[in-house]
Each structure stands twice: as C-alpha cells, then as structure tokens.
Chains A and B, each alone.
Chain A
Amino acid sequence: MKNTKILAGVGLLLVCGAGSAMAADAIHGNEIRLGLYIVQYDAHADDITGPFVPKGLNVNVKNVNTAYVAYVRRLSPNFVLELAAGVPPKTETTGKGPAMLGSVPFDGQVISTAKWFAPTLLLNYVFLDESSAWRPYFGVGANYTKFYDRQSTAAGNAANGGPTSISLTSSLGPAATLGVRWHLQDRWSLYASYSYSVVRSNLVANTAGVLRRTHIDFNPTTLVLSVGFAF
C-alpha cells in the first residue's frame, strides 16, 4: 500500500509538471530525491552444503519494491555525487529445489524474511548542459549491503529442522547506473534510472549447532522512479 501511494505521487507530479520545464532556473548545489525502488533479484546461490543436506537444495529471493531516497551533491555542471538508499526492504527468501523434504514442503516456500540496508554511492556524469530539460546520465560507484532483522518463518524452521540463526556477511561491491532527468520547473525534476550492483554474501545457518553454508550472488537490478527537489 505504501509503495502504491508513492507511485501515485510520482504520477501526479508527472502530470502537474508536464511542459513546464524552465531552462533559466537557478543553479542549486544540493538535491533530495524521493521515489520508488523496484528491485529485481537474479540470485544465484551455490547448493547448500553441510550435515544432513540433500543434493540440490538452493534458495531464491523474491523481488521487492520499496521507497527510494537519495541525497545528490552537484560537483560541477556535469558531475554529481549521488548517495542513494532505499527504505530497507523486507525481502522474502524462498526454497528452491525438491518440492518436499520428507514430508516438509520446500520448493517455493517462503522460508525467511530479512531487511537490507544497502546504500549506494555513485559518481554520475550528466550529459548536456544545465539548461536542458532532458539530461541523460550514467554513473559508477559502490554499494554496501548489510542484512539485518531476520525473521525465520515457520516453514523455514520446519525445513531447517528447528530454530535457525543466520550469519550473512556484509557486501561491498561496484554499482553502475543509467538514467535520465527531466527538469520540471524551478527546483523540481523527475528521474528514471536503471542500476545494477554486485551484492555477494557468504551465508552460514546454525540450527542446533549444525552449520550449513552457501555463497550467494544476489545480482540485484533496480528501476528507480523519483522526483527531486533542489536547494
């Protein structure tokens, strides 16, 4: 519901601001952007290893939408520094592999939820001059992801064989983005961007002292629709 409201807000701004770009607006050094993060994972994990683990057990990660917020600092007419983050999304992990482990459903079951704090720092090159209404840009930078607030589901506990604690290493990896700005008027702009980050982690699950491990490449791609306010 929250994401729907944000999307609606972005749409309203698109309508209200259409055709009102003003090339002669003042130059501002800072900008705050708010919008929608549409995160799609193309997760690839090693099969899980450890005691009492059958072959072919794996995991998947469900896509998620969340609120996007970023602070942008103008460095020059063509370079900006973007510190982007989302409201940490609650991400659901599903089992991938056999339909049943004994009599316990596995494949496709939501076995856990977790929140991600994943700020990304990007140095963006913005094409054209600052009077242009449309300005495409690209950027490169780094993503840091920290995982927290684990909630193992009943299905997860059943599949793991009991209450499970998880260790998931934080990730630091490169990130890149492609986007376009549409200047609406004065301090307001609209943005659309497509980003990719390298997010990798080593996971260790502990169930009653028994450890199981895997390595996961999350391969998140994000589509961001946002509105920016310069000041």
Chain B
Amino acid sequence: MRVHSLRLVAVSAALVLAACGNDSPTSTIDTTSTARGTLIEDPPLRIASLDAPTLNAELMASAAGQQLLLVAGAPACGVDFNYFHYWTVGGMNETATASGALMVPTGGAGCTGARPIVLYAHGTDTNKNLNLADITDPTNSEGALIAAMFAAQGYIVVAPNYAGYDTSSLDYHPFLNGDQQSKDMIDALTAARQALGHVLASTTTDSGKLFITGYSQGGYVAMATHKAMQAAGMTVTASAPMSGPYALEAFGDFVFLGHVNLGSTIFTPMITTSYQRSYGNIYAATTDVFEAAYAPTIEGLLPSTMTVDSIIGNGLLPQLELFNSNTPGNGDASSGSALLDAYLAEPSDPNDPNTPLFRLGFGTSNLIKNSYRIAYVADLAANPDGAVPQTNLLPAAAPANSLRQAFKTNDLRSWTPAAPVLMCGGAGDPVVFFPVNTLLMQAYWQNYAPQLPPGVVTVLDVASAITGPNDPFLLAKGGFAQAEAAIDAGAGGGAAGFQARVSSYHSTVAPFCSAAARGFFGLF
C-alpha cells in the first residue's frame, strides 16, 4: 500500500547569506569516535517541520493520505522530521555508518515534554536510496505511515534506514541478519537519544518508555531487537512485531518445498547476499545457487538504485519464477530419490486454495537451480525442521545446508519475551505466511515457555472475525475487511477482485496492524 504522497515540505535549504569569507564549510561529522551508537552530526538536520494542521492538509491532498488518516486519525501533534547518521556495524561486525529518521512530535500538551519512543523497523525495500526521514519524497509511503500513526499522535519515532541503505558506508544490506539488524536498531536508538534535546524541537524529551515495532522484514527486526535488548538488560516496555518472518528456517523450508511466496525472487537474492557477506559459506560461486542468466549480477543486486521494474525488465531477476517448473523427476533429471522428487514437485493439491499462488513461483525463467533446490530439500528431509512438517516445533538440531544453517542462526524460536508482545498479521498473507511464522511463534512459546504469564503474548489476525462489540481489535479487523472489500470492488470483483486482493494483501494489512500496535502501546 502506497500510503501517501506528502508533496511539499522540504524545509531547509534557505541558504543564509551570512558569510565567512573563503572559509570552507566545516563538517560537523564527529570523526573522534566510530563506536556503535555514536551520533555523527549533532544536532542532526531537520528536513521538514509540519504542524498538525499542515500535516493533515498534506495527507488530505492525496487519496492514499486520506485513507491513512481514516486509520491513523487526524494528527494531534506536529512532526519535525530529523535526519541523523550514526555508527553501527555490518554483518561481520565491521564498522559502518547508517542513517535514520528521528520524528519528533511538536505542539501542545501530549506532544511535547516527556514522550515515549517508538523504535520502528521498516519493511523490505529494494530502493537503496530509501530515507524514511525524507518526507518530501512522495515515494516515502512508510515514512508517512509511521509519521501519521505514531509521531502525529505524540510518540517520538526512531526509524533507521538500515546499514546498506541511503548514505551508509556498508556496500551490502545484512537482510534478516538478526544479530546485525538488532545492533543497527539499538545503535540508531542510542544515537537518536543523544540528539533529543539538541534538535530544533528540543522541548520534546524521552520519557523512558520504549516500544518496538516494524512490518514484514521490520517485523522480524523488531522481534530480534526486543530479544537483543532484553538480553542486554535494556528497557523494553512492549513490542508489536507485524507480519514478520520470525521462524526463518521453517519459512525457508516451506518455500523450498514449493510453497512459493509472492516476492520470493526479490527476497532470495537479498537473503543470499546478506548471509554470504556475513558468513561467507552460502556458495563458492553464485552459479552454485542461481541460474546462469542471473548469477553474474545477483550478488549485491539489491537494494538498488534501479526500480524493480527495470531490474526485471533488464532480465536481472525473474518476476515470480523462483523454481524451475521442470522439477526433478518431472521434466528434469531425477534427484535419485522418489521421496525427494515428490517433495520437489510443483504443488498440485486442488483442495489448497493457495495452490495457484504457489504455482506462480514455477517456470522456466526460474532463479534457483534445480541442483541447489535438491541439495536444500535433501537436507531438510534429513534434518527436518520441527514445524515443517509439524513435530516438535523446533528448528532442526543440526542442518547441514549452509543456507539452512544461516536460517537457523537467525530463527527467532530462540527466546522468550519478558515484556508484552503483540504479533499482528493477516492469515491470508501471500508474502510472509502467517501460519508458519506468527502462529508458529505463538505455538512455540505455548509449548516451550509455559511459565509465560497470560497476556504477555497476544496474536492478532486482522482478517479474523470480530468477536463482538467488545473485541479490542474491532476497528483493525473491521477496517481491514472494509479495505479488502474496497479493493475487490475496485477491481471489478470476481477473479480480478481476488487477484487484486491477493497481490495487495501484505501491504493492506500494514496500516491496520500499525493502528492495533498503537492501541496496544497505549495500554502501557
């Protein structure tokens, strides 16, 4: 869902004719420390300052903005959009810079003074130039979403762009590397806290309450960050991971068994590049994994300054076809095992409504070689994940495939929260499957953390039925249902309506889960 297009706003850049002769501009970059969490420019640049009426007017200027306001509510506060840089690390703990947004609420009571912080992790973005602080960029829909949903309602928002994006010194993005990404989040938070009190809206301060949330990739990162901060003894008031791939090994195995998710041809090279650069053992050469048409340029392809359409149009990635439709033993040479050949076959269950979706992931312009898929699936057969098929719900004890090892390393079936967690998503999500991630995490904690008091973990499926007038998530569920109906009707209903709903499902969930997260945070 492209939430918005704030058109105007670039504050800044009034070149001031106040002169210093021939002096060169002095950089405010702090070169004295590259320690994690160090704020590089203090105070950071404020890109824009919008009071509540102006923010409201800007959002009202577009249809997407109007929809967002319906979910988020009218802004109660103005928002200052600050753009900061900080020191963090890469996937190998190498020193790196990164940037982020520090959105500071402004205005009257409830906006200034001591305010809670929302630490937000963004979703997968192929745009290397992503800058959530740049509210002047009409493509920055996620920045607008979190501004309207949280900052305009009195929350200080800290949202890193992640190492590997924007002006980061890192030449790759450690995608779904839980250790690195949680460090990145913590470092952004540390730097942003340094900036508070120094930024132009200096009367808004940190109350000490910290909420963590994020969507999709960011849902994973939010949970990994909660885990890391809890382990480090840092305060987390509550978290709300949304639509995240938490159980990475189970999710990966499920996909390699043929249940191909939408977006998999984008996610796969981001994952392999990340883990190859972090661990160095995913492949000896990209041709070990990828078909020859894609292998030469696949490493480091994403994130990119090219659009996804251009990348696909230039033949650098297939649009949907992750696996070869000539599967081993069925159009291609057998794996040598009838069982594996059966595992590797295209899904054909007529009773599974997702079968047509899964089959979109097969074709002859496929990304991943059959040979690699055979090797992966052979390992999952030999060292099965306890959730695929469902047995003990735990990751495999000792996977042999290096990608599965990386998945296990980053799988979040490895902790138990002490502070409240709301996991939100949609049961029909075709991008990040809800059952093998959200419901699996819930089942994992139910089975392996029975000491967890009731209420610490809450699961919300926004596509579930409203339980009654007292349903605490009535508005999120009702809003999502209305949005789905509108998308269906907009596409003319029928098969076209179904297709429209499926293709937009993942992004349609986002604002409703975000609204639920805000309501959840408001309890503390």
Q: What is A's interface to B at a CB cutoff of 8 Å?
A: 48, 50, 52-54, 57, 59, 61, 91, 93, 95, 100-104, 106, 109, 111-114, 146-148, 150-153, 156-170, 201, 203-214, 216
Q: How far is the CA of A50 from the CA of B13 in the complex (A)?
A: 8
Judge whether B25 and A161 touch: CB under 8 Å.
no
- How many angstroms from the CA of A168 to the CA of B20 in the assembled complex? 6
In the complex with contacts A103-B78, A158-B200, A167-B17 CB distance below 8 A:
no
Most buried by B among A52, A59, A162: A52
- A-B pairs, 8 with minimum CB distance: A147-B19, A150-B18, A93-B17, A206-B25, A112-B18, A159-B14, A168-B19, A112-B16
Give chain B's interface residues, CB within 8 Å of chain A: 8-29, 40-41, 43-51, 54, 78, 83, 85, 134, 136, 199-200
Cβ–Cβ contact B9 & A102, under 8 A: yes
| Given contacts A101-B11, A207-B12, A52 and B18 within 8 Å (CB-CB) | no
Bound complex: CA of A208 vs CA of B39, how far in Å? 11
A162-B46, A205-B25, A206-B26 known; A168 vs B54 contact (CB < 8 Å):
no
A102 to B18, CA, bound (A): 23
Chain B neighbourhood of A169, CB < 8 A = 22
Are B19 and A150 in contact, with the CB atoms below 8 A? yes
**B19 A161 Cβ-Cβ under 8 A:** no
Q: What are the residues of chain A within 8 A of B134 when measuring CB–CB?
A: 52
Say whether, besides A102-B48, A208-B44, A170 and B14 are in contact (CB < 8 Å). Answer: no
Specify which of B12, B19, B48 is in contact with A166 (CB 8 Å cutoff).
B19
CB contacts between A and B, total, < 8 Å: 183
Known contacts A102-B11, A112-B16, A216-B17; is-contact A161 B45 (Cβ 8 Å): yes
- Interface SS, B side: loop
* Contact across chains for B45 and A111 when beta carbons are under 8 A apart: no
Q: Tell me, in angstroms, the Cα distance from A104 to B14 when the chains sit together.
A: 11
Given contact pairs A101-B10, A102-B48, A159-B12, A166 touches B200 in the complex (Cβ within 8 A): no
Known: A48-B13, A54-B10, A208-B28. A151 touches B18 (CB 8 A): yes
9 interchain pairs, CB-CB under 8 A: A52-B10, A52-B12, A52-B45, A101-B11, A147-B18, A156-B16, A162-B199, A166-B19, A168-B20
In the assembled complex, the Cα of A113 lies from the Cα of B19 at a distance in Å of 8
Chain A interface helix/strand/loop/mixed: strand
Q: How far is the CA of A156 from the CA of B29 in the complex (A)?
A: 21
Contact between A165 and B17, CB atoms less than 8 A apart = no
Contact A48 B14 (CB under 8 A): yes
Interface core residue of B19, B134, B136, B199 (most chain A CB under 10 Å):
B19
Q: Given A102-B54, A206-B26, do A166 and B18 touch, yes or no (CB 8 Å)?
A: yes
The residue on B at minimum CB distance from A55 is B10
* A59 and B17 in contact, given A162-B45, A208-B41 (Cβ under 8 angstroms): yes
Known: A54-B10, A101-B9, A102-B48. A205 touches B136 (CB 8 A): no
B10–A165 CB distance below 8 A: no
CB atoms of A162 and B200 under 8 A apart: yes
- How far in angstroms is the closest Cβ of chain B from A51? 8
Question: Chain A's nearest CB lies how many Å from the CB of B168?
Answer: 14
Say which residue of B11, B23, B24, B199 sits within 8 Å of A159 (CB atoms). B11
Q: Determine whether the beta carbon of A167 is less than 8 Å from that of B25.
A: yes
Residue numbers in B under 8 Å from A201 (CB-CB)? 19
* Smallest Cβ-Cβ distance to B136: which chain A residue: A52
Chain B residue at minimal CB-CB distance from A107: B14
| Chain A, residue nearest B48 (CB) | A102
The distance in angstroms between the C-alpha atoms of A104 and B199, with both chains bound, is 15
B23 touches A111 (CB 8 A): no
Give the distance in Å from the alpha carbon of A203 to the alpha carbon of B17 in the complex: 8
Contacts of A158 in B (CB 8 A): 11, 49, 200
- Chain A nearest CB: distance from B17 CB in Å? 3
B25 x A53 contact (CB < 8 A) = no
A147, A166, A170: the one within 8 Å of B15 (CB): A166
Asked whether A101 lies within 8 Å of B19 as measured between CB atoms, the reply is: no
Question: Which chain B residue shows the least CB distance to A210?
Answer: B45
In the bound complex, do residue A160 and residue B13 qualify as a contact, i.e. CB atoms below 8 Å apart? yes
Q: Which residue of B lies closest to A153 (CB)?
A: B16
Q: Are A212 and B26 in contact (CB under 8 A)?
A: no
Give every chain B residue within 8 A of A151 (Cβ-Cβ): 18
Question: Chain B residue with minimal CB distance to A103?
Answer: B51
Q: Which residues of A contact B50 (CB under 8 A)?
A: 102-103
**Chain A residues, Cβ within 8 Å of B24:** 167, 204
Q: A54-B8, A102-B48 are in contact. Are A209 and B41 (CB under 8 A)?
A: yes
Distance (Å) between the CB of B185 and the closest chain A CB?
Answer: 22
**Chain B, Cβ-Cβ closest to A158:** B200
**Besides the known contacts A48-B15, A147-B18, 7 further A-B residue pairs in the complex with CB atoms under 8 A apart:** A52-B83, A53-B10, A93-B18, A160-B14, A166-B20, A206-B25, A209-B85
